[in-house]
Structure 1
Amino acid sequence: MDLIANLAIGFDTALTPANLFYCFAGALLGTFIGVLPGLGPTATVAMLLPVTYYLSPEASLIMLAGIYYGSQYGGSTTAILVNLPGEVSSSVTAIDGYQMARQGEAGKALAIAAIGSFCAGTFATFLIAVVAIPLSAIALKFGSAEYFALILLGLVTSTALAHGSVLRAIAMIIAGMLFGIVGTDVDTGAYRFTLGIVELIDGLSVVAVALGIFGIVEVLKNLENKTGEIVETAKITSLMPTRKDLRAAAGPVARGSVVGSLLGTLPGGGSILSAFTSYMIEKRISKHPERFGKGAIEGVAGPESANNAGAQTSFVPLLTLGIPSHPLMALMMGALLIQGITPGPNVVHTQPGLFWGIIASMWIGNAMLVVLNLPLVGLWVAMLRVPYKLMIPAIVTFSTIGVFTVKNSGFDVQILAAFGLIGYLLHKVGCEPAPFLMGFVLGSLLEEHLRRAMVFSRGDPMVFLTHPISATLLGVAVVVLALIALPAISRRREEIFIEEE
């Protein structure tokens, strides 16, 4: 009964005209972003963070969430029709989806992708609603030692699940943490790493840093990769799959929903690892694995279900524990902080409308996406013919105005430009910006809980080992680090993330 009452609160919040509009706007924009290669949801959410300053907390989070899971839908459209994944996770869908399109089954592949995404999104949202309260209750028992261990585990796991060099990922996390503590020490009032610049006393703006290393860097990267216009797309016939198709897709959709829901909660996992894992499972258990890569409908249904479920359950650690599971969730955390709300287990009690409104909006948003995606397929494909050079001035202008309006600070615009350059240089030397942002956002929290734990224990570092929960979490972090050092695991990581390069 409590679940029904809580969901009633959520739907009461989500079904207001204003929130319905922002849910629709987020889903529509997310689909658009997913269709266009080179402009991902992380960069888009970073650009829209300043806008959330002028919205209610419920409207801003509902819109940003819609952008994220909407991008998972949009990415599959071009992956199937033109073999051009709009999102990294959709690159798995392209393997069999494009082959189906070449065989005249583009409509069938699009329909299965939409149905699978909707079913997985519904399952994942229900799972979030069920586990949210128990996880929040557990989190309320966490002290500073437990939170320190949890954040440390999150950073370690995000390193393990990042592609590329683990050593570079760790270096990026540490660099992000160092930039994150720039400003005034909240305990002593001392200035740290401000270089005598008055504007740095309050620290670096999350919006400016995030938008610089994602938004501006995406522009610079796409200026390098000049691509021609798409000339040919697959023809779409019927959008109605047969009963045989639905029976063949039912198992992969169910398995993909479960896999995505579980892996989505892992730090750094999200939708990407979910899609790759689902595809590997379907191919391994299939009676005819030779069909994969040649137009197997299971190769579309499983990964599409997994990536959408993973996108939605990645909200679980943020909403219940206050820990972002990947960079986009770190930006969601920034949106909450802009509104003066500290993410964590108390949000469900102090902000029930916000907490349950986001969950309810996911159901509404998934229904909107099914209605949006299939009729607008032609429009999305036409969008691909817009030269990227025409979008660059709008992206840069919007980014600059957005950063400036948060604090009316010209200095933040300089920070935007500086981190755009830093992010581009990091890209050129093979370093990922994602671990940097995770370190930047979580570094101050890690320091805060470390200090509190040491104060409460009167300087005894054994407090992290004498508390069972923190000791367990630290033990898991050590095991994860040991595992990723093994050559076999390193090779497996290369195989899983080879499509990201």
Structure 2
Amino acid sequence: MDSMANLLHGLGIAVQPGNLFYCFVGALVGTLIGVLPGIGPVATVAMLLPATFYLPPTSALIMLAGIYYGAQYGGSTTAILVNLPGENSSVVTCLDGYQMARQGRAGPALAVAALGSVFAGIVATFFIALFAPPLAEVALAFGPADYFSLMVLGLVAAIVLAQGSLVKALAMIILGLLLSSVGTDVESGARRMTFGIVDLADGINFVPLAMGLFAIAEIITNLEKPEQRVTISGRIENLWPTLDDFRRAWPAVLRGTGIGLFLGLLPGGGAMLSSFVAYSAEKRISKEPHRFGRGAVEGVAAPESANNAGAQTSFIPLLTLGIPANAVIALMAGAMMIHGIQPGPQVMTKNPDLFWGVIASMLVGNIMLVVINLPLIRVWVALLKIPYHLFYPAIIVFCCIGVYTLNNSNFDVMLLVLFGFMGYLFMKWGFEPAPLLLSFVLGPLMEENLRRAMQLSGGSASTFVTSPISAVLLAAALGLLILIMLPSFQKTRETAFVEDR
């Protein structure tokens, strides 16, 4: 009952005019980003980070959260209408959604995606409200050694769930930890890895790193691709699904929501992994698997429910444990730190208005998505006809202005260019940049907790195995490492990611 009372309190915060406006802006911008291929939520959140510095923390996070789950919703529109996924998690929606559109059933496909998304979003909101507080209370019992081990487990899990080579994912984790160590050591005052550059004395700024790796690198990569011309198959007429559609879709929505609720909690999980797993599960349990890929409504309902649920439950590790589950959540962790808020269990006790306001805003935002987007379908499709090369110069200028205004520093703009070039090379060579961002955010926290644990134990490393919680977490991390090395697991993992693409 306390959770429901707190959720009502958060709802009162979320519907304040200012927060309601930023929720609307986030949902609208998120949908636009989901519709436009080539500019994902990670790049968008990275670009908008400087704008949030001038907002109250609660309003800033409400807007960024709206962009995240709005992008999951918007990606389904173009996936269904033009077979062009606006967001990675909408790739599998193309398989059956576009086939439904070709059969003259684009309206029901869009409606099923919308209803499944809003149902999953509402369920995920209540799930967070019920389970986040007890998890935060458990986390308050963690000591420094336990937190360090938890972060080790999170980074190992991020390696396992990263796309592509495990060795490359590990390399990105290590590089992120090294970059997070640049600057002045808090305890000794010594400068580390600054190479005599005075501008690096305070460390590498989170914003140019994130904007460079994702926004600038994404733009450079997309400029290499030929522009696609949009053609719509058939007319969008009746939006209301048939009774048979409802009969087939609602079990898929329930299963997809359940899968998303769980996978959103995992480091490296979230919307994309949830949508692929949900689609695969529906196809395997179906009595008519041959229907999938030919316009099965379950092939739209399950992944769309799963990606929205996974996007929202990925906030739980951030708000309760201080562990970002994916790259977008890592950006939000950075935004919280910039506002002077330490992600973790103390957010609920020290900043209850922010904690419950953000959660309740998801309820409002999901309802907004349906209300504002179904009437705008033709607007989104018209935007797709604008040549992409007209968007990119404006985005680059916006990034440079945003980075410069942080500290009025030309050096930050130079870092933006450097990390943009690095991010482009990472994409070309098959290195996923998300693990780097996760380890960059967690690096200072890991170092702080490692030092505190060693100081409290008098310099004895045994504290990491004598603490029961820490020992269990390290054992789990070791188990994952052993699992990675098993040939059968490597084969299954490679097969899964080949299917994902």
Q: TM-score range by the shorter chain?
A: over 0.9
Q: Deviations over 1:364-419 (max 9, x none)?
A: 00000011221111111111111111001110010001111111211111110111
In the alignment, does 2:153 pair up with 1:172?
no
Distance 1:500 1:216 in 2: 25
Say if 2:276 and 2:500, in contact at 8 Å, map to a contact too: no
Q: If the length of structure 1 is used for normalisation, what is the TM-score?
A: 0.98
Distance 1:229 1:82 in 2: 10
In the alignment, does 2:276 pair up with 1:276?
yes
Partner of residue 439, structure 1: 439
Say if 1:91 and 1:499, in contact at 8 Å, map to a contact too: no
Q: Deviations over 1:20-61 (max 9, x none)?
A: 000000000000000111100000000000011100001000
- Which stretch of structure 1 is more off in the superposition, 228-237 or 446-455? 228-237
Aligned 1:125-164 pairs, distance under 5 A:
125-164=125-164
User: 1:460 corresponds to which letter in structure 2?
Assistant: S
Partner of residue 4, structure 2: 4
Say if 2:4 and 2:129, in contact at 8 Å, map to a contact too: no
Shift in CA distance, 444/500, structure 1 to aligned 2, threshold 3 Å = farther
Q: Which runs of 4+ in 1 moved over 3 A?
A: 231-234
Say if 1:213 and 1:420, in contact at 8 Å, map to a contact too: yes
In the alignment, does 2:254 pair up with 1:262?
no
Structure 1's unaligned 5+ residue stretches are: none
Distance 2:228 2:274 in 1: 31
Say if 2:102 and 2:233, in contact at 8 Å, map to a contact too: no
Say if 1:9 and 1:352, in contact at 8 Å, map to a contact too: no
1:445 CA drift (Å) = 1.2
Distance 2:487 2:96 in 1: 30
Distance 2:356 2:43 in 1: 26
User: 2:312 corresponds to which letter in structure 1?
Assistant: Q
Distance 2:100 2:351 in 1: 46
User: 1:259 corresponds to which letter in structure 2?
Assistant: I
Distance 2:149 2:211 in 1: 29
1:166 CA drift (Å) = 0.3
Distance 2:498 2:240 in 1: 33
Q: Deviations over 1:184-238 (max 9, x none)?
A: 1111111000111111010001001000010000110011112232234442121
Aligned 1:293-312 pairs, distance under 5 A:
293-312=293-312
Say if 1:88 and 1:499, in contact at 8 Å, map to a contact too: no
1:461 CA drift (Å) = 1.0
1:495 CA drift (Å) = 2.9
Say if 1:82 and 1:234, in contact at 8 Å, map to a contact too: no
- Which stretch of structure 1 is more off in the superposition, 32-41 or 483-492? 483-492
Partner of residue 62, structure 2: 62
- Which stretch of structure 1 is more off in the superposition, 153-162 or 228-237? 228-237
3-state SS, counterpart of residue 497 of structure 1: helix
1:489 CA drift (Å) = 1.9
3-state SS, counterpart of residue 89 of structure 1: helix
Q: Deviations over 1:295-327 (max 9, x none)?
A: 111111011000000000000000111111111
3-state SS, counterpart of residue 431 of structure 2: coil
Partner of residue 30, structure 1: 30
Partner of residue 48, structure 2: 48
Say if 1:76 and 1:304, in contact at 8 Å, map to a contact too: yes
3-state SS, counterpart of residue 209 of structure 2: helix
Aligned 1:101-116 pairs, distance under 5 A:
101-116=101-116
Distance 2:231 2:116 in 1: 29
Q: If the length of structure 2 is used for normalisation, what is the TM-score?
A: 0.98
Say if 1:174 and 1:436, in contact at 8 Å, map to a contact too: yes
Partner of residue 16, structure 1: 16
Distance 1:121 1:432 in 2: 28
Q: Deviations over 1:105-156 (max 9, x none)?
A: 1111100000000000111110000011101100000011110111011111
User: 2:82 corresponds to which letter in structure 1?
Assistant: V
Partner of residue 362, structure 2: 362
1:459 CA drift (Å) = 1.4
Distance 1:233 1:392 in 2: 28
Partner of residue 400, structure 1: 400
Distance 2:500 2:409 in 1: 36
Partner of residue 373, structure 1: 373
Q: Deviations over 1:430-452 (max 9, x none)?
A: 21111111111111111111111
Distance 1:484 1:233 in 2: 44
Say if 1:273 and 1:496, in contact at 8 Å, map to a contact too: no
User: 2:224 corresponds to which letter in structure 1?
Assistant: E
Aligned 1:146-295 pairs, distance under 5 A:
146-295=146-295
1:498 CA drift (Å) = 2.7
Say if 2:81 and 2:232, in contact at 8 Å, map to a contact too: no
User: 2:112 corresponds to which letter in structure 1?
Assistant: I
Q: Deviations over 1:37-87 (max 9, x none)?
A: 110000000000001110000100000000000000000011111111011
User: 2:241 corresponds to which letter in structure 1?
Assistant: P
Distance 2:23 2:319 in 1: 18
1:499 CA drift (Å) = 5.7
User: 2:398 corresponds to which letter in structure 1?
Assistant: F
Say if 1:172 and 1:436, in contact at 8 Å, map to a contact too: yes
Q: Deviations over 1:254-281 (max 9, x none)?
A: 1111110000010000011111111111
Give the aligned length: 501
Distance 2:309 2:468 in 1: 32
1:500 CA drift (Å) = 5.6
- Which stretch of structure 1 is more off in the superposition, 185-194 or 241-250? 241-250
1:424 CA drift (Å) = 1.2
3-state SS, counterpart of residue 226 of structure 1: coil
Query: RMSD of the TM alignment (CA)?
Result: 1.0
3-state SS, counterpart of residue 460 of structure 1: coil
User: 2:471 corresponds to which letter in structure 1?
Assistant: A
Distance 1:328 1:393 in 2: 23
Distance 1:498 1:125 in 2: 32
Distance 2:386 2:490 in 1: 39
3-state SS, counterpart of residue 374 of structure 1: helix
User: 2:21 corresponds to which letter in structure 1?
Assistant: F
User: 2:95 corresponds to which letter in structure 1?
Assistant: I
Partner of residue 347, structure 2: 347
Distance 2:267 2:477 in 1: 12
Say if 2:96 and 2:294, in contact at 8 Å, map to a contact too: yes
3-state SS, counterpart of residue 268 of structure 1: coil
Shift in CA distance, 156/394, structure 1 to aligned 2, threshold 3 Å = same
Structure 2's unaligned 5+ residue stretches are: none
In the alignment, does 2:76 pair up with 1:76?
yes
In the alignment, does 2:446 pair up with 1:470?
no
Partner of residue 332, structure 2: 332
Distance 2:390 2:79 in 1: 23
Say if 1:322 and 1:343, in contact at 8 Å, map to a contact too: yes
Q: Deviations over 1:304-363 (max 9, x none)?
A: 000000000000000111111111111001111111111111110111110000011000
Distance 1:41 1:499 in 2: 23
Distance 1:218 1:234 in 2: 32
User: 1:384 corresponds to which letter in structure 2?
Assistant: L
